[in-house]
Amino acid sequence: MSNPLPEWTDLRFFLELARAGTLSAASRRLAVEHTTVARRIDRLEEQLNTTLFDRSREGYQLTEMGQALLPHAEAMESALTAAKDELTGAQVSVRGLVRVGVPEIFGSRIVAPALAQLLKVHPELNIDLLLLPRFANLANREADLGITLDPPNTGRYVVTRLASFRMYVYGAPSYLSQHPVIQQHADLQQHDFVDYVQDRLASSGLNYMNELGFTPRRRLCCTSMAAQCEAAAQGLGLIFAPPYAVPDDGRLVPVLHHSFYAERNFCLAAPSDLYRLRRVRTVWNFLRELADSHPRMFALE
């Protein structure tokens, strides 16, 4: 007698454990006991007659067979969600939860304030805004869509360029008044800098000090752009930052901004199956319109 087909609920437990990596994290996301998660996974493996996870003290990692099952389970999840949306009338009313992964300072200063209007227009829409010191992991469904410097190079995604932005040199007036005058690019070699911690870069694109053409004297390194801005505002050194990251209070002023800057691109990405959902596309379009309507956030005149 052949084994029965797996139940969708067991596959849902499989997906959550694959994304969370631990029983405790998956149980919180599913609002059940961790023993329930373990029991459902054991049952699924028995039905499929295979091992889906390698167990260790660090957590649960997908086996080769688990990796093979993952896209099929995700396709079922997407189809079920789309069907639910259509049958409940969500095709005319945007509803449900969308998790959005955004760079920390861009999310807090630009995206979060603008979300009020979006949520007012769509009262049944809910947003989880993930403000991260790194870029959201779309492969394990940490977020439904995300803003990143590096577009995904494997898997099925919808990707678009969100905006080009420029990183300028800024300094505190107090620092600039007490250190050698900066009149040209070569003068920057005489100055201290505040930068990212180099072995904790979320992307090689954040290593923008390569554009300097020399090895800078790093007085302080931080994993957070917000912390870098605060340190530079206290006079610890010069900083590279985009306009949207710099406080609009005069504590930091641009240096050589007409002649020297580093340029990068933000990408907007979402798994193809999630992009089909109207609520995800609504947030996607909102982010694109937000970037298009505020060009001064990304470059100085």
Q: What is the pLDDT of residue 88?
A: 61
Please state, in angstroms and rounded to a whole number, the distance separating the CA atoms of residues 12 and 31. Answer: 13
Share of the chain above pLDDT 90, in %: 47
Written as six digits, the tokens of 233 are 């505002």
Mean pLDDT, rounded, for 205-231: 89
Written as six digits, the tokens of 282 are 């609504």
Does the pLDDT value for residue 77 go beyond 90?
Answer: no
- What are the boundaries of each domain within the chain? 8-87, 92-301
Mean pLDDT, rounded, for 110-125: 93
Element (H, E) at 253: strand 253-255
Q: Where are the alpha helices (DSSP H) in 179-264?
A: 225-233
Please state, in angstroms and rounded to a whole number, the distance separating the CA atoms of residues 157 and 139. Answer: 10
Give 98's pLDDT tier (boundaries 50, 70, 90). very high
Mean pLDDT, rounded, for 26-44: 89
Q: What is the pLDDT of residue 93?
A: 66
Residue 51, Cα to own-chain centre: how many angstroms? 31
164-198: pLDDT as tens digits: 999 999 999 999 999 999 999 999 999 999 999 98
Please state, in angstroms and rounded to a whole number, the distance separating the CA atoms of residues 230 and 252. Answer: 9
125-138: pLDDT as tens digits: 999 999 977 788 88
Q: What is the pLDDT of residue 202?
A: 76
Q: How far is CA 147 from CA 137, 180, 283, in A?
A: 11, 38, 12
Q: What is the pLDDT of residue 187?
A: 95
Q: How far is CA 196 from CA 22, 84, 199, 200, 218, in A?
A: 30, 44, 9, 8, 9
Please state, rounded to an integer, the average pLDDT across all residues of the chain.
88
Which CATH class name applies to 92-301?
A: alpha beta
Q: What is the pLDDT of residue 1?
A: 41
Give 288's pLDDT tier (boundaries 50, 70, 90). very high
Q: String of b and e for 230-267 (b: at least 16 CB within 10 Å)?
A: bbbbebbbbbbbbbbbbeeeebbeebebeeebbebebb
**What is the CATH topology of the domain spanning 8-87?**
Arc Repressor Mutant, subunit A (1.10.10)
Of 213, 175, 166, nearest to 194 (Cα)?
175
Give 85's pLDDT tier (boundaries 50, 70, 90). low
Mean pLDDT, rounded, for 201-217: 83
Does the pLDDT value for residue 21 go beyond 60?
Answer: yes
